[in-house]
Amino acid sequence: MTALLIILAELALAKMGAALGAGLAAIGAGIGIGRIGASAMEAIARQPEAVGDIRSNMIVSAALIEGVAFFAVIVCVLAIFIA
């Protein structure tokens, strides 16, 4: 009976850790994309003629951050179902 309780406690800790990891990944992505947007607006205000280059670099950077965040959330979901 004790071994069963230990196994169940380990599964609960794995699920709690996965949920915490998914939440941190989402918060980190939101902060990162917010900083990219703020920096891009400042750069556009300083050099309005470079709007196209700044916008394209901003979109690529935001897409990379979203990809990393999505990967982190998928890893956390896998930790829930595999652990």
- Spell out the domains of the chain, with CATH numbers in brackets: 2-82 (1.20.20.10)
Average pLDDT of the chain?
Answer: 87
pLDDT of 8 > 90? The answer is no
Q: Dihedral through CA 54, CA 56, CA 57, CA 59, nearest 10? A: 120
Q: What is residue 78's predicted lDDT score, i.e. its pLDDT?
A: 86
What sign has the CA pseudo-torsion 62, 67, 70, 72? negative
Give backbone dihedrals phi and psi of 47, rounded to 5 degrees, phi first: -135, 85
Output the pTM of the full model: 0.77
For residues 40 and 9, the model is more confident at 40
The answer to whether residue 1 scores a pLDDT higher than 70 is no
Helices 2-46/51-82 angle, 10° precision: 180
